[in-house]
Structure 1
Amino acid sequence: PAYWYSKSKTASLFGTGPCFGWSSQEVLGWVYYGGGQELFDELMGSLGLNIVSFFNSPMPAQPLGWFKEEIKDASQMNGLKYRTVGLAADVLMEMGMSVVQLPGGEIQPAMKSGLIDAAEFNNPTSDRDFGMQDVSKDYHLASFHQSQEFFEVTFNKKKYNALPAELQAILKYASEAENSNFYWNNTKRYSDDLIKLQKESGVRVHRTPDSVMAAQLKAWDVVVDRLSAEDEFFAKVIASQKAYAKDVMNYLNLNQPDYKLAYNHHFG
């Protein structure tokens, strides 16, 4: 849905929307148990799209990306030509960046030629495969521009409805099973490739400063308020997401221990 930006900005809320304190795992919880699937089906109907979609494949937060120097303050991002897509483009333009929307395969050549100053794509594995380490050595992890992304599998609605109920259920449950496998597999791949970027390519990995991420959240507020005023259905989806996140994350924030505390205890 992030790439449906030109057709419907509301579609971007299903995979690359604002962070209300949740991860992609909890947003998928909203899809399955908080009314998100029903809202998406309603949106598809309003767009005249004859499809059935199942959401899956929760991803870790996308890195802020690759820069020509370490970003220590949000002011350094002002005026930079930066590649991203979807609602993230609105957010980063609100922060003063000049956004260029490019497909994945064009990012590295664009940065090499100077067409763009900085870029994000998705994760350490795909970034390494694209050769981003050859055009930049400052890689920033953690960001709220696309912090809870997930994917979908889509079927022709007419053909899906013609299937026996048993086969429909198999497709649905296969999509749900992919949630676990995707996350387990890719967190291992991403961590392995991050180490390779550092050790084999001399990449300097930085955690994006909290001040930059706080500025992102403020920019998100402006974008969400503007789009909600323009589109009643956009506002409806946002309200549903906020209601779910408020309750679920209240429990999780109270209940979850500080895993970083335990990590530092063992690994320093």
Structure 2
Amino acid sequence: MERRHVLKAGALGLAASAVAAPAIAQSSPEIRWRLSSTFPKSLDTLYGASETFARIVSETTDGKFQIQPFAAGEIVGMPQALDAVSNGTVEMIHGPGYYYVGKDPTLALMADVPFMMNVRQRLAWMHVGGGQDLINDYVAKFNVYTIPGGNTGTQMGGWFRKEIKTLQDLQGLKFRIAGLAGQVLAKLGAVPTQIPGGDIYPALERGTIDAAEWVGPYDDEKLGFAKVAPFYYYPGFWEGAPNVHFWIGKEKWEALPKSYKEIAKVAASHAGMELTAKYDARNPAALRRLVAAGAQLRPFSQEILDAAFKASNEIYDDLSAKNPDFKKMYDSLRSFRNEEYLWFQVAEYTFDNYMIRSRVATSGR
């Protein structure tokens, strides 16, 4: 009798292990995806975020979930990337929504628009203020799901072949600029155009364009803009906190095991944090090198900033009246921004302002 109980228990154990093994295998399937970045490999900051994301996903799943990054143009170019992930040509892409403002201006709001927020405020809006939920509710119409994937911080105002002192100097200026900022500059008399990062230098060199913005000193130094457009303006008022996202085909995302989804979110968060940290750590030295090599730093005049601020709000009001999706996201952003700056002017701004003045007074001690 005792022997029969032992045999029965052993049989039940074997049966349980036979059920458990396939279940575990099914919950950790082998998956291979392609990720098309909208950036060239030379930009180890922006393109590098895709590499970091893919590495963490692979290491955390013991190599079962493999994602291979490709630079812009290797599978599809930047202009076609959103269509490629929407129709399943690639499983995912990495880039900012404002590249596709021609499809719908609402896409710009998920990245950045003129005179909005700084990095910490935008992250707070996305992760705690309901912003990312609004974004994913909206982008479902493009058959995608998105995860925040990094922020460059406030950008520079760009490189100009000539000085820009007044609004008159903007008249007819051919300016490489992305997103709704192009519409703002157009209202001020400039002629905006959007071209990929790798094409900017030759366009400046040939005089096809008169000015171009990209990101900031670290990337701009790599791209060599100072050699052909020496006047370096600040701030990039159109990009106080431009965010990039990982865009994933909706069906592909929904088919992932829950554990893989969580791993992807954690990997994206780490890659995004690293991206921002790289810019904050590397921009100061790059700016010093650019100025030492002849770059001429110039602030945008108050006249230009005020006119751009006015034009921006006119565009937002007009789009809100015509586009319910835009209005819903913009109202959320604007309300959150106003509350954030109420707080930041009390603590963050006063601290930063004191430290900046103290640094100057003590020669950087």
Q: Distance in 2 between matches of 1:3 and 1:161?
A: 25
Please report how far the alpha carbon of residue 93 of structure 1 lies from its aligned counterpart in structure 2 after TM superposition: 0.3
Please report how far the alpha carbon of residue 36 of structure 1 lies from its aligned counterpart in structure 2 after TM superposition: 1.4
* SS, match of residue 154 in structure 1: strand
| Greater Cα shift, 254-263 or 168-177 | 254-263
* 1:202 aligned onto 2:305: no
Q: Distance in 2 between matches of 1:139 and 1:188?
A: 20
2:163 to 58, 62, 70: 70
Distance 1:3-1:193 versus aligned 2 partners, 3 A rule: same
Please report how far the alpha carbon of residue 240 of structure 1 lies from its aligned counterpart in structure 2 after TM superposition: 0.9
* Equivalent runs, 1:201-240 vs 2, <5 Å: 201-240=293-332
> In the alignment, is the contact (CA less than 8 A) between 1:3 and 1:86 conserved in 2?
yes
Q: Distance in 2 between matches of 1:90 and 1:38?
A: 27
* SS, match of residue 103 in structure 2: coil
Aligned to 2:126: 31
* Equivalent runs, 1:9-88 vs 2, <5 Å: 9-20=105-116, 22-45=117-140, 47=141, 49-88=142-181
Please report how far the alpha carbon of residue 149 of structure 1 lies from its aligned counterpart in structure 2 after TM superposition: 0.2
RMSD: 1.7
Please report how far the alpha carbon of residue 50 of structure 1 lies from its aligned counterpart in structure 2 after TM superposition: 2.5
* 1:100 aligned onto 2:193: yes
Please report how far the alpha carbon of residue 209 of structure 1 lies from its aligned counterpart in structure 2 after TM superposition: 2.7
Q: Deviations 1:53-99 (Å, cap 9, x if unpaired)?
A: 11131222221111123323233212211111211111110111111
TM-score (norm 2): 0.68
Please report how far the alpha carbon of residue 145 of structure 1 lies from its aligned counterpart in structure 2 after TM superposition: 1.8
* Equivalent runs, 1:103-114 vs 2, <5 Å: 103-114=196-207
Amino acid at match of 2:118: S
Amino acid at match of 2:277: W
Amino acid at match of 1:230: K
* 1:179 aligned onto 2:272: yes
Q: Structure 2: which 5+ runs fail to align?
A: 1-96
> In the alignment, is the contact (CA less than 8 A) between 1:61 and 1:142 conserved in 2?
yes
Q: Distance in 2 between matches of 1:25 and 1:262?
A: 19
Q: Deviations 1:170-223 (Å, cap 9, x if unpaired)?
A: 211222223332222111222221111111x21111232333222211110111
* SS, match of residue 57 in structure 1: strand
| Greater Cα shift, 182-191 or 83-92 | 182-191
Q: Structure 1: which 5+ runs fail to align?
A: none
Q: Distance in 1 between matches of 2:287 and 2:136?
A: 37
Q: Distance in 2 between matches of 1:180 and 1:103?
A: 24
Q: Distance in 1 between matches of 2:136 and 2:163?
A: 42
1:125 to 204, 212, 218: 218
Aligned to 1:252: 344
* 1:241 aligned onto 2:336: no
Aligned to 1:2: 98
Please report how far the alpha carbon of residue 11 of structure 1 lies from its aligned counterpart in structure 2 after TM superposition: 0.7
Q: Distance in 1 between matches of 2:162 and 2:354?
A: 29
- In the TM superposition, structure 1's runs of 4+ consecutive aligned residues that sit over 4 Å from their partners are none
Q: Distance in 1 between matches of 2:149 and 2:345?
A: 24
> In the alignment, is the contact (CA less than 8 A) between 1:78 and 1:96 conserved in 2?
yes
Distance 1:207-1:261 versus aligned 2 partners, 3 A rule: farther
Bigger relative contact order, structure 1 or 2, given CA contacts below 8 A and separation 6+? 1
Please report how far the alpha carbon of residue 164 of structure 1 lies from its aligned counterpart in structure 2 after TM superposition: 2.5
Distance 1:229-1:113 versus aligned 2 partners, 3 A rule: same
Q: Distance in 1 between matches of 2:203 and 2:240?
A: 24
Amino acid at match of 1:37: Q
